């Protein structure tokens, strides 16, 4: 009986340990938004597209391979704002173009740039698309 229980526990741990949390279908908000400007980042559930809002709305496609992630820029709206907001947005988009890997820890998404700088996002919801 003890051997069967131990085998069951080990197989449960092995299966649970293999489950990798996914960004798909989640909406995140940047925890350290510059200039107090809320910045969101969402990953759709269907077509590997991401989108969000900084000063402007933006979108693109993403590719994930293990813990590696590539965010391919698509486009953005062209609204003007205060100079400090526009500079903060430019810096954010530059950071997004340098993301190379990610970690998910509970309700947080950490995007890690090529220079090891980290962008910390908190999960704030689910996307409305379906698979």
- Is 70 exceeded by the pLDDT of residue 13? no
Give first-to-last CA distance, the chain, whole Å: 42
Q: Three-class SS of residue 93?
A: helix
Q: What average pLDDT does range 71-98 have in this prediction?
A: 94
What's the pTM value of the predicted model, to 2 decimals? 0.81
Q: Where are the domains of the chain?
A: 21-126
**Using one digit for the tens of pLDDT, what is the confidence trace for 77-89?**
999 999 999 999 9
- Is 50 exceeded by the pLDDT of residue 17? no
Q: 99 vs 3, 15, 34, 119, CA distance in Å? A: 46, 29, 18, 9
Contact yes or no for 90/124 (Cβ under 8 A): no
Residue positions counted in the chain: 131
Architecture of 21-126 per CATH?
A: Beta Barrel (2.40)
């Amino acid at each position: 009986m003890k051997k069967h229980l131990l085998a069951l526990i080990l197989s449960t741990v092995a299966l649970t340990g293999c489950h990798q949390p996914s960004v798909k279908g989640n909406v995140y908000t940047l925890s350290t938004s510059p200039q107090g400007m809320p910045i969101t980042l969402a990953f759709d559930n269907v077509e590997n597209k991401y989108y969000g809002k900084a000063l402007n709305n933006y979108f693109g496609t993403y590719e994930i391979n293990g813990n590696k992630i590539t965010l391919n820029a698509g486009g953005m709206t062209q609204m003007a704002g205060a100079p400090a907001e526009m500079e903060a947005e430019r810096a954010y988009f530059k950071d997004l173009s340098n993301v190379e890997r990610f970690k998910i820890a509970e309700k947080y998404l950490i995007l890690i740039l090529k220079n090891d700088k980290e962008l910390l996002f908190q999960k704030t919801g689910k996307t409305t698309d379906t698979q």
